Structures are given as C-alpha cells and as structure tokens.
Structure 1
Amino acid sequence: MDTETSDEPLAVVQPSGPRRIFATAVLFSVSALLLILAVVTPPSSAGWLIYLLVCGGVALWLTLRLWQATHASIILTRDALSTSDGTHLCNLSDVAGLDRGVFAFKPSNGFVVRLKRKAPRGWAPGLWWRVGKRVGIGGVTSAGQAKFMAEMLAAQIVENTENSIK
C-alpha cells in the first residue's frame, strides 16, 4: 500500500531570488533605454519613433509579466505537473519523455517534457512555456531544483510505464 497521496509534492522548482531580480532589472533597463531614447533623442522619422515606443512598451509589459509569473513555483506530484497558482501544465500519463541534455532546446537551468499529444499553448516568462507537444521548465529557476525535478519525473515515467505493462 502506498502511503503517499497523489497530491503530495514529489519535487518543487522555485524561482531563484537573485536570478528573478536580475532578469527583471535587465528587462526593465532595456525598456527604459528604448523609451528614453524615443523621448530624449527622437528619430526624424515618425515610423522609427513609433517603433521605439512600441518596443519599449512591449519590453515594459514583459518586465511586469516576468515579475508576476515568477511569484509561482512548479510542483510535481504523482499525477501531474502544475504551478502553485493552479495552472495545470500536464498529466504524467501524457508524458512521452524528457530532454535535458546540453544541446536540447530547453530553458536555462531547466528541461523539456515531451508529451504524447498536443497541449494548449501557455507561457509564464522565466518559469515555464508550453508549445505543441513540449513543456519547457526553467528560466530564472534554481538549477539544482530543476535537475532534481527532472530526475523525479524520469523515475515517475519509468514507474508509470512498468505499471501500464502489468
């Protein structure tokens, strides 16, 4: 009999405080530089002025999204991968494999979960993304926590495969 319930966390990945602050500061600096450049020394062409203002505004919006998104953490349970704010990333029964090698297209300090079927797109800057049959975990997260979660997820995949064979 298994004493752990399916809701108990097996692993948690949280944003690293210094990485979160650094990433937000860099993105804010880019947005501030673009907006200041547009206001202090506006280009002679109206098109370039609009371009600078739009890029600065988008960078400022991304700064806010990054700061808000990195308040959450990612939680692995026996059944699913989700965030602490309630966003469901994927069921473990839908996981086909993991990509965590050096040359894998993955977030910084993270890994990619390959799914058996497509999932709706989603994105929390600096924390996770989901496109097609892939879910990327990482960004401003701790490398050690992400590596531990990847190992636990790999073990869960093997356990689920063995249980489905029986």
Structure 2
Amino acid sequence: MAEELTRIGTSAPRRVLGVSAMTALGAMLLYVAFAEPPANWLWQVFLVALGLIALWFSARMWEATGHELILTDEALTDSDGTELARLDQIAKVDRSVFAMKPSNGFIILLKEPMPRAWRPGLWWRMGRRIAVGGVTSGAATKPMADIIAVKVADPDV
C-alpha cells in the first residue's frame, strides 16, 4: 500500500458557510420569482430554474465537502476512492496569483487529458486540468501543492 503523504479536507465552519451561501442564493432567487414575479413569465421561469440549480448545487457541495483529498507517493485520490491523477501523469502544479484556480487552491496540469469529474467546493477535473480548493483552507492546500511539485520535479524524493 502507498504511503500517505498528506490529506486535506474542509473544516466545519467553511463547509457550513459555503453551503449556506449557495442555499441562501437559491432561496432568494425563488423568493423573487414568486413574491415579485416579473412581467414576462419567461423571466419567472428563468429565476425558478436558477433557484433550483443553486439549491441542487448546495446539496452536491454538502456531499462533496464531506470528503477529503489524500496524497500518497503514487497518486492524488478522493477519500471515496476516486483517483484524481497519478503522480506520473502530472506535468506541473500552478499556484500563481493569476492562475484560474479555486479560492485557497491550486491547479494541476496533466500530461494527458482525463475524464471530467466534479466535487463542488473541493475539486474539479476537466481535460488536462485539475483544480483543488474552494472551501478548503490555504494552510492545508499549500503544503499539498508543494509536495506534488517536488514529487513531479524529482520522482525519487
């Protein structure tokens, strides 16, 4: 079995705050759609659809942020067993200020594209990019990004 190097998850306050913000957005959109309906019914349908999407998103976020990311000397995986990427598939780690990355997170660039996957508030993968972060703390994600960068630069470390 591979040795665990580090793991990141979400703290309860960050998790509750992130999910509460999405739930509040969904509730406000539905309130506006029914309490002050727009003159055109298409706008009302649009507001209801957005409100329901926000509520669905908040439920997905609650489920996803209950997971943790685990970095071993072989791969980065989700605590449910989903493999984000093997270390030998990683080309680069980007934590720069101007990188399109989640809050308190980092971007992993892969050598080859992988199937899309998404855990709102924790990570997403699209093509050759994996973004880690969202409701995670920067104090947890920074060491993970540094370890991955060192492992990619010198796999024998």
TM-score category by the smaller chain?
A: over 0.9
Q: Distance in 2 between the 1:115 and 1:108 partners?
A: 20
Match of 2:54 among 51, 56, 59: 59
Please say if 1:125 is aligned against 2:120. yes
Structure 1: which amino acid aligns with 2:67? A
Match of 2:130 in 1: 135
Identity of aligned residues (%): 43
Please say if 1:145 is aligned against 2:155. no
Q: Distance in 1 between the 2:104 and 2:34 partners?
A: 37
Q: State the Cα distance separating 1:158 from its structure 2 match.
A: 2.5
- Paired positions, count: 157
Q: State the Cα distance separating 1:85 from its structure 2 match.
A: 1.1
Match of 1:31 among 26, 41, 50: 26
Q: Distance in 2 between the 1:16 and 1:106 partners?
A: 20
Match of 1:80 in 2: 75
Partner of 1:119, secondary structure, is strand
Instruction: Please identify which structure carries the higher strand content.
Output: 2
Please say if 1:109 is aligned against 2:104. yes
Q: Distance in 2 between the 1:90 and 1:62 partners?
A: 24
Gaps of 5+ in 2: none
Match of 1:46 among 41, 45, 64: 41
Q: State the Cα distance separating 1:11 from its structure 2 match.
A: 0.8
Q: Distance in 1 between the 2:44 and 2:99 partners?
A: 38
Gaps of 5+ in 1: none
Q: Distance in 2 between the 1:113 and 1:16 partners?
A: 23
- The higher radius of gyration belongs to 1
Task: Compute the TM-score of the two structures, normalised by the length of structure 1.
Answer: 0.90
User: What is the CA RMSD across the aligned residues, in angstroms?
Assistant: 1.3
Match of 1:68 in 2: 63
Structure 2: which amino acid aligns with 1:30? L
Q: Which runs of 4+ in 1 moved over 3 A?
A: none
Task: Compute the TM-score of the two structures, normalised by the length of structure 2.
Answer: 0.95
Q: State the Cα distance separating 1:16 from its structure 2 match.
A: 2.3
Match of 2:4 in 1: 9
Structure 1: which amino acid aligns with 2:142? K
Partner of 1:132, secondary structure, is strand
Q: State the Cα distance separating 1:121 from its structure 2 match.
A: 0.7
Match of 1:158 in 2: 153
Once the two structures are superposed, residues 107-136 of structure 1 have per-residue CA deviations (whole angstroms, 9 ceiling, x without a partner) of 111111110000111110000011111111
Q: Distance in 1 between the 2:30 and 2:101 partners?
A: 31
Structure 2: which amino acid aligns with 1:80? A
Q: State the Cα distance separating 1:159 from its structure 2 match.
A: 2.7
Q: Distance in 2 between the 1:101 and 1:43 partners?
A: 43
